[in-house]
Amino acid sequence: MKKIVKSLGTFLSIFALFFFAAYLALRFLPYPELTAFLKRDYSLVLTDKNGVTLRVFPARDGVRREWTDVCDVPQGVRNVFIKAEDKRFYYHIGVDPVAVIARAIRNASAKRVVSGASTISMQLARLIKPHARGIRGKIAEAVDALRIEARLSKDAVLELWLNAIPFGSNLEGLGAFSRARFGVAAMELDDAQAVALAVVPRRPGLYDPAYNAEASLVAAQQLAVRCNVDVAAVAAAVAKAAAQPDVPAANPKTPFYAPHFTERTRSLLLNYAEASEGASGGRIRRPVKTTLDLDLQLYAEERLGAELEKLALNRVSNGSVLVIENSTGAVLCYVGSSSWFDDAVSGKIDGVQARNQPGSCLKPFLYALALDSGFGPNAVLPDIPSVFGAREAYIPANFNRRFNGPVRMRVALASSLNIPAVWMLERIGVSRFEDSLESLGFTSIAGKRGSYGTGLALGNAEVSLEELARAFSVFHREGKLAGLRFIEKDRDNEDGARNVQVLSPYAAFVIRDILSDKASRWTGFGDAPMFSTPFQSMFKTGTANQYQNIWALGATGRWTVGVWMGNFSGATVVGKTGSSIPARIAADILSALETANPDGASSVAAPDGAGEMVEVEICALSGMRATRFCTGTLREWLLRGRTPDACDWHRADGVVYPGEYRSWLAERLHMGQARRGGGTIRLPHRGSVFYVDPSLPADAQAIRIETSGFGDDALVFVDGVPAGILDSAGVFMLPVSRGKRMVFVEDDVSGAHVEFEVR
């Protein structure tokens, strides 16, 4: 008896050692196929800030394969798939002996193969490493199943299998298939829907409800009985899954929102070094929550589309919208074009990044630089006929074709006057302004530095909507430039530098105060109802290339909106389309944001350190400290220590303008010039070269012929052809046309001529 016990003990020891050795071999011997499978690529799922799916990108091999953690799959759904494929999944070690015996008896009785005995682990092994058919293949498959079970927990095995099940139609895994057939993620499935899907892997070509609803329904009802799931609910689920074939970009069950934004975000994610965290092969498995607000995105698309429809006959066929949260730099809305699918208008071009001339939209940044260079918002700038440059001259005109004489900087910017802007740029220096724009994130101008000249004040550079909106947000960020954020999870340097001080808080405050000042914009825009909002807001608009590009920038304390409208083809716009159109869109979007987010201030509050500023009563005309003779006064924020001298324009005996404004004043008051004889042409200078401004219509530009000494109604000849007469101030406005020109002016006493060129 002792010998038997001893022999049995020896046998059991050997048996235990054998199984332990087998386990060690299964557990630790190299399994490179499993290692590679664990690292394989999955679809990238992007959601908006509220978790609504925006878009699902296929894996690198073109297969749609969404990862879902097994803990996120409802228990009922897991039970359905387990019962459908391997009801004793949690009770075997990879191979189910009971199932093997049962299937053998069934096949023998039928004298043919009517069913197999593959467990979920064996199916997974076949997906990881396909095996040959027949007994040898089944044995190899069983061994690999044991290897998998020795290395992974049951839940990990189930998780891998659920994410790898081939459903046909280039779809793998429960997540991808549930979205394709029901428009929901796997975690949102109910039991009836799970039954409708669980029958498909047996024969995808036969049981996919999208292609064979009848066969799918029969199989699903049989499984429903086994799973104790309501048959009627399963029938409804099959009908829903069959309602729309899985057609890319046309299937409403496949989300395709904000395509330019999602393309941009995908590219950024692939470039992030930390993208490998929680990912396989450097790709993120789980859905990525972006900063986009889908409701706002759809509203912006609707508003843009409505305005573009009205402008179809004007050849304004496209537009873009960008909305930024000021405090974080988060991108809340990103409309790249009117329609991604409209190739006739180049809809796949991303208008947020496309470069176009911005017109007057660069002026706020010029005046901000001026404020940081010693000028104050009370500084008086000349809005009079002016020639900038020497032999190569530049003659800007205002959009309203009027000259306003001396204007304070506040009025010049709020009313977007052109001549004061160019005057200011000449004093600041083009190179310094280029430096400032680069620090504000305008990388687009770097390649053409030195070629812009004073036309840079009026936007002759090509910049993007993204650069403009991002830079515009600094005025509500105390002069700090934010990096744009596309991912909800906070990342350092997500898109460049963040919180870089590029302007002083004082300059930022004054610019946002000016662009919120309704009274000061009256000179250029009148009542301007498109800028009127029930909350504090600031706006800047611009037009360029004869209305081919129309822009608007709007902001409150919390958000910045940028809108561009035009076309990508370069086609000339028909008629005139003003920047009031994109301004309306920007104002409506800000209103939608304020309505949806009533809590929080949207104001033009003084910056931190406001003690450095002092509010001074100034003369509305001269910008100097007001005296008792000044007929109009107002209050202006100035830096402490920069209080101006007392006004010397207003005196007890009237107003005395500086000499540079007397010619303008004479013309404005229609003061005739005395006949003196010896008439001369003061402007333009002989040999000057003028350039047509592409940002203004031709009929809004003219070369000013300024004379002295001629009598009233002196005749003006251009290239020997009579062109008109001088006005009472001795001025003639010559319409612009390219070429060399000779202008001759004569009266009954004298004559003079000048030659110049227009390019």
Q: Of all residues in the chain, what percent are helix, strand and coil, respectively (each to 5)?
A: 40, 20, 40
Q: Say what the pLDDT of residue 253 is.
A: 74
The string of DSSP letters for 295-338 reads HHHHHHHHHHHHHHHHTGGGT--EEEEEEEETTT-BEEEEE-SS
Domain co-membership, 479 together with 356:
yes
Query: 653 falls in which pLDDT band (50, 70, 90)?
Result: confident
Q: Of 483, 454, 485, give the one whose Cα is nearest residue 362.
A: 454
Query: 519 falls in which pLDDT band (50, 70, 90)?
Result: confident
Distance of CA 633 to the CA centre of its chain: 43
Domain co-membership, 508 together with 581:
yes
Per the structure block, which two tokens stand in for 244? 């729309």
**pLDDT > 80? residue 99:** no
List alpha helices for 74-187, DSSP H.
75-85, 97-110, 120-128, 135-151, 154-162, 174-182
The predicted model gives 672-688 an average pLDDT of 69
CA distance 624 to 111: 108
Give me the residue label for tokens 């049989």: 222
Give me the residue label for tokens 């990103």: 334
Percent of the chain with pLDDT over 90: 50
CA distance 759 to 746: 26
Domain co-membership, 578 together with 627:
no
**pLDDT > 90? residue 561:** yes
CA distances from 262 to 82, 268, 404, 464 (A): 36, 10, 48, 18
CA distance 238 to 231: 11
Q: Does 541 reside within a domain?
A: yes
List the CATH number of the domain containing 564.
3.40.710.10
Average pLDDT, the chain: 84
In terms of pLDDT, which residue wins out, 97 or 672?
97
Q: Does 413 reside within a domain?
A: no
Strand pairing report for 613-619 and 633-639: antiparallel
DSSP character for 635? E
CA distance 238 to 195: 9
CA distance 243 to 230: 20
Domain residues for 4? Answer: 1-30
Q: Say what the pLDDT of residue 391 is.
A: 41
Domain co-membership, 162 together with 238:
yes
In terms of pLDDT, which residue wins out, 82 or 403?
82
CA distance 11 to 528: 98
Q: Say what the pLDDT of residue 275 is.
A: 44
Residue 344 burial by CB count (10 A; 0-12/13-18/19+): exposed, middle or buried? exposed
DSSP character for 409? H
For 377-399, write each residue's pLDDT tens digit: 999 998 887 666 544 445 555 55
How many C-beta neighbours within 10 Å does residue 654 have? 8
Q: Order of strands across the sheet with 166-168?
A: 64-65, 171-172, 166-168
Domain co-membership, 591 together with 718:
no
Q: Does 249 reside within a domain?
A: no
Domain co-membership, 208 together with 163:
yes
The predicted model gives 528-545 an average pLDDT of 85
The string of DSSP letters for 504-570 reads -HHHHHHHHHHTT-TTTTHHHHTT-GGG--SS--EEEEEEETTTTEEEEEEE-SSEEEEEEEE-SS-
For 722-744, write each residue's pLDDT tens digit: 777 887 777 788 887 788 888 88
Where do the DSSP E strands lie in 5-76?
Answer: 44-47, 53-57, 64-65
Q: Among the listed ranges 116-125, 191-200, 497-506, 597-606, which one has the minimum average pLDDT value?
A: 597-606
HSE-up of 454 (CA within 13 Å, CB side)?
23
DSSP SS3 for 681: strand
For 28-86, write each residue's pLDDT tens digit: 688 889 999 998 889 999 999 999 999 999 998 899 999 999 999 999 999 999 999 98
Q: Say what the pLDDT of residue 109 is.
A: 60
Q: Say what the pLDDT of residue 6 is.
A: 61
Q: 718 - beta bridge partners?
A: 721, 743
**pLDDT > 80? residue 143:** yes
The predicted model gives 343-366 an average pLDDT of 93
Query: 23 falls in which pLDDT band (50, 70, 90)?
Result: low
Q: Which of 541, 565, 596 finishes a domain?
A: 596
**pLDDT > 70? residue 252:** no
Query: 433 falls in which pLDDT band (50, 70, 90)?
Result: very high
CA distance 759 to 757: 7
Query: 278 falls in which pLDDT band (50, 70, 90)?
Result: very low
Domain co-membership, 653 together with 722:
no
Q: Say what the pLDDT of residue 281 is.
A: 42
**pLDDT > 90? residue 684:** no
Label residue 361 left, alpha or beta by phi (over 0 means left) and psi (-120 to 50 means alpha). alpha
Query: 22 falls in which pLDDT band (50, 70, 90)?
Result: low
Residue type, 171: L
Q: Does 259 reside within a domain?
A: no
How many C-beta neighbours within 10 Å does residue 403 have? 20
The predicted model gives 680-704 an average pLDDT of 72
Domain co-membership, 129 together with 157:
yes
CA distance 131 to 110: 26
Give me the residue label for tokens 């000057």: 688
For 187-233, write each residue's pLDDT tens digit: 999 999 999 999 999 999 899 999 999 999 999 999 999 999 999 99
Domain co-membership, 499 together with 443:
yes
Domain co-membership, 110 together with 229:
yes
Query: 248 falls in which pLDDT band (50, 70, 90)?
Result: very low
List the CATH number of the domain containing 237.
1.10.3810.10
Q: Say what the pLDDT of residue 373 is.
A: 95
Spatial CB neighbours of 62, under 8 Å, sequence gap ≥ 6:
170
Q: Say what the pLDDT of residue 745 is.
A: 86
Label residue 739 left, alpha or beta by phi (over 0 means left) and psi (-120 to 50 means alpha). left
Domain co-membership, 25 together with 63:
no
Q: Of 536, 535, 484, 540, give the one whose Cα is nearest residue 511.
A: 540
Query: 612 falls in which pLDDT band (50, 70, 90)?
Result: confident
CA distance 617 to 246: 70
Domain co-membership, 229 together with 348:
no
Label residue 62 left, alpha or beta by phi (over 0 means left) and psi (-120 to 50 means alpha). left
CA distance 658 to 512: 30
Q: Which helix (H) or strand (E) holds 438?
A: helix 430-439
The string of DSSP letters for 233-245 reads HHHHHHHHHHSS-
**pLDDT > 80? residue 102:** no
Query: 173 falls in which pLDDT band (50, 70, 90)?
Result: very high
Q: What angle do CA 753, 757, 759 make, to 5 degrees?
A: 155
For 109-137, write each residue's pLDDT tens digit: 655 444 456 899 999 999 999 887 778 88
Q: Of 511, 493, 497, give the one whose Cα is nearest residue 560.
A: 511
HSE-up of 450 (CA within 13 Å, CB side)?
1
Residue type, 108: A
Spatial CB neighbours of 132, under 8 Å, sequence gap ≥ 6:
140
* Whether 114 contacts 107, CB under 8 Å: yes
Residue 100 burial by CB count (10 A; 0-12/13-18/19+): exposed, middle or buried? middle
Q: Say what the pLDDT of residue 208 is.
A: 94
CA distance 653 to 655: 7
Query: 602 falls in which pLDDT band (50, 70, 90)?
Result: low
Positive or negative torsion for Cα 76, 158, 282, 267: negative
Spatial CB neighbours of 105, under 8 Å, sequence gap ≥ 6:
none
CA dihedral 164, 170, 174, 175 (to 10 degrees): 110
DSSP character for 264? H
Q: Does 394 reside within a domain?
A: no
Q: Does 372 reside within a domain?
A: no
Q: What angle do CA 601, 605, 611 make, to 5 degrees?
A: 145
CA distance 93 to 27: 13
Q: Say what the pLDDT of residue 751 is.
A: 82
Q: Say what the pLDDT of residue 232 is.
A: 95
Q: Say what the pLDDT of residue 128 is.
A: 93
DSSP SS3 for 134: coil
Q: Does 171 reside within a domain?
A: yes
The predicted model gives 404-411 an average pLDDT of 91
Q: Say what the pLDDT of residue 673 is.
A: 47
DSSP character for 670? T
Q: Does 367 reside within a domain?
A: no
Residue 293 burial by CB count (10 A; 0-12/13-18/19+): exposed, middle or buried? buried
CA distance 61 to 502: 45
Counting the structural domains of the chain, the total is 5
Query: 277 falls in which pLDDT band (50, 70, 90)?
Result: very low
**pLDDT > 70? residue 511:** yes
**pLDDT > 50? residue 413:** yes
CA distance 477 to 505: 8
Question: What size, in residues, is the chain?
Answer: 759
Helix axes 191-198, 213-227, angle to 10 degrees: 120
For the chain, report the end-to-end CA distance as a whole number of angstroms. Answer: 119
Give me the residue label for tokens 């799931």: 229
